[in-house]
Structure formats: C-alpha cells, structure tokens
Amino acid sequence: MKTCLVVIDSQESFRHRPYFTPATLPTYLSAQNALIAGCVAQGIPVVRIFHVDGPKTADNPFAIESGLIRPIEGLAGFEPAITFTKNRHSALVGTGLDWWLTQNSISKLIVSGIRTEQCCETTTRHASDLGWSVDYCLEATLTWDMHNADGTVLSAADIMMRTATVLKDRFARICSVAQALGAAS
C-alpha cells in the first residue's frame, strides 16, 4: 500500500486569527516535524496544502496578498512532492489532489495539520468516502478552544477527543506519529 503524508494548512495565517494562542503550538510543531522527518526518511511523499480564502486583500490573513500563505514559523523545512491551495474545508475539493493521488498510485493517506476538527477532519472523511485508507495522526494536528452557542468554552482538548471519537474505525485509524510511521509503506 503506497502511502502519502498530507500536511494541511500548517500556515502562518493562523497566527493572525483572534482565536490563536501559542500555548499548544510547540507540542504540535514537535509532532508535525517528527512526522514529516520520518516520512521524508522513509521516502514517503509529503503533500503541502495551503488554505486561501476570502477577500484578496493584504489585511485578510488567508489571502495570498497578505504574504501569510507560507509555512507556519517553526515548521521544519521540507521539499513537498507537490503543493496545492484550497478554498474549501476538504483538500480534495477543486485542488487536483485526488487526481495527483490516483496518478501516483497512493492508496493510503496520513492526515495532519491545522485545524483538527475542520480541514483535517473534513479531508479525512472525504478521503475515506472516496476509498482511500486514512491514518489520522491526531497528535500532529492543532486546534484552539471554541465557544458553544451558550457561550461556554469547548476546550481544544475536548475538540480533539471528539474528532478522534467520530473518525475512529469509521473514517480513519487514529494514530500517533510513531504508529503512523510504523505502518507507513
């Protein structure tokens, strides 16, 4: 089974969002960098995905014009097999990623990146529905606290647990960096 690592939206744009807090960034970067390094060492292609959306103005952190559509500071440098930009939650919508995966005989994806419950989870569900086997590397994803409709806070840890719960054994195998690298081929 030929494997590919997909690094989703690990981009500088997020530092410029009101919900960004740096507290969990080092832990995420450590796991993400270890996953990238392990895949590169095993010859597993690494695909980079950037999210580009909204008004094409310098004050929009998700616009190319902002200069923030670049790897988040602290992410290890690597030469991606290919880079795609997306403007939807799933990296498989309108990007050409599905075509590239098929052309390269990829049958298994390792999903990682930012945000756990949004673009990473959506891409995982979509990939599974299209027939790819998916390892969801939870520790190599990042999200932040969110507010419920009643104003209470849903912690990032609870969001991650919820994502793992709904994906596990339905859409993906939930795994650590070591487990993803150990099962990669």
Please say whether the beta carbons of 36 and 7 come within 8 A: yes
Instruction: Tell me which DSSP letter residue 70 carries.
Output: S
Q: Looking at residue 185, what is its pLDDT?
A: 61
Sign of the dihedral through C-alpha 141, 31, 99, 78: positive
Q: Which domain holds residue 87?
A: 3-183
- Interior angle at CA 163, CA 7 and CA 125, nearest 5: 60
Q: Looking at residue 147, what is its pLDDT?
A: 95
Rounded mean pLDDT for each run of 10 residues along the chain, 185 residues in total: 96 97 97 98 98 97 98 97 98 98 98 98 98 98 97 97 98 98 85
What is residue 6's three-state secondary structure?
strand
- If one counts the domains in the chain, the total is 1
CATH code of residue 44: 3.40.50.850
